[in-house]
Chains A and B, each alone.
Chain A
Amino acid sequence: MSERFLIRGASVEGGAIRDIRVEGTTIVEVGAGLDAAGARVIDADGLIALPGLVDLHTHLREPGYEASETILTGTRAAAAGGFTAVFAMPNTSPVADTAGVVEQELALGLAAGYATVQPIGAVTVGQQGERLAELGAMARSRANVRVFSDDGFCVWDPLIMRRALEYVKSFGGVVAQHAQDPRLTEGAQMNEGSVSAELGLAGWPAVAEESIIARDVLLAEHVGSRLHVCHLSTAGSVDIIRWAKARGINVTAEVTPHHLLLTDELVRGYDARYKVNPPLRREEDVLAVRAGLADGTIDIVATDHAPHPAEAKSCEWQAAANGMVGLESAVHIVQRVMVDEGLLSWADVARVMSRTPARIGGLATHGTPISAGAPAEITLYDPSGSRVFGTADLHGRSHDSPYLGTSLPGRVVTTMHDGYLTLDDGVLVDAETVAAHAARVATHRVGQSGAAPGARV
């Protein structure tokens, strides 16, 4: 039995104060002074209502690396961070390069129920960069894959990249490139610059990212296709995207919260919590990507949530794994670095963390403005106050966050997915309840549409 909700007095995308009525999986009414009429009232006084956040770049690790994270634990972390949809990167084991694996991921996400899990398919078989994977089969599968990436690895062979860009045109897909020239970054450990020179760590030069992006935007232009650039991190990369867009090239780009805030100076203590790919860059790069996000050159924020077990980070730098978890901290970082500094409004946050990622990924049921008839994907956020971020705030399996012990602003209060709560007044709803809701919604959907069970409707 679904609950009906009345969210009372929320500032919609930071603007007008409205009441929002939800029934079933839909927002049925948005107005002022609405009558509760038996619905559960959620007092949203002082809170901002955003369309449920959408992460275009998450590592859920399942299948294969369940010690780090599972689809269940990763989507719980997502819900705690205000996300209602996550795009799952394919560097699993086995790699998500067939319809079978992506459909399994879809099913696990639907069963868990905390968020929409939209699988990303690998570009090449096993992400080896040699042969195209069955992109068409993945697109036509129940998982309806539209975004393809070899993330973790660069699609380096220019011919393979060209073919992939051409091929996905047939089903409106997009190739999301992890831009890293492997020859220029062999054994690389951190950004190449004055800090790496001093620390004796092999450098990862900015040009290794920029040269691939430059090549790929020109390829996308040449074959008339769409390109997405993952985790853009350098000032030069921002300049290239700006140039490409001015030229009319169909390219989008994402930046991670950590690249909006942290620099390579943090590597000085050899604390492997700061080890990530692409690496933390210079102060000039951080300022450039902030400006790029503010002026729209960079389209979205994506977390690149990368869980790792403790032993993969509590060791010497060279032996440590790359990556940080980021789902629970993302919107707080964006508030601190962009909103509180006047670079983005909350409406912009809705654009870069919900509407645009959903559009790029082709997810029609997310990122829609909060209005009557829209799917009930809503995040309620309290921008006031600040709290020290601790392990209690991490709900995934891994604790590799660089923000532990840092003071971050704001609080995600409520996350609503498919018309039911996954996060209720700052507390995750238990898995059994969420799974029951998800099953109920699925059955209802099947009944309504006549589609096969488990299909995306």
Chain B
Amino acid sequence: MSTRTVLQEADIARALTRIAHEILESNRGAEGLVILGIPTRGVELAQRIAALIAGISGAAVPVGALDVTMYRDDLARNPTRTPHPTTIPEGGIDGRVVVLVDDVLFSGRSIRAALDALQDVGRPAAVRLAALIDRGHRELPIRPDFVGKNLPSAKSERINVRLNETDGVEEVTIEG
């Protein structure tokens, strides 16, 4: 089993900066945006993207977290999962453009759960998806709007995203 580093600290920073620009471009500015990260690492990424957007546009963008544990379709197949907090920023999501942020997009099931969770929180005008890594192997018709890096991989391989805040290092590796 070998481990290969595919993104280093600088690569991650550049990818996030590009995503922030793309969000602003597609939204024609920062108005009406709400950035929601999917725990665990999606939350940190969402914070950074929101900060980058604020830096570029000068406008503060609401940011929060959306836990999807309660909406997963595979709960009974796994040991009990501990949920994480959901924090919806003040102002809610009704009529807003919600940008979901996740570290790795794989089967698409987490995003499906996130869409169900969003539905119980409110009624956004639109939902977009930003993923740091898209590794393919989708099992549902879900596609990202903003991608940091496309990483074709074998299903048996493991993609690990490590961020300073949660893991003490900053890298994306592929193992297999």
| Direct touch of chains A and B (CB < 8 A) | no
Q: Which residues of A contact B (CB under 8 A)?
A: none
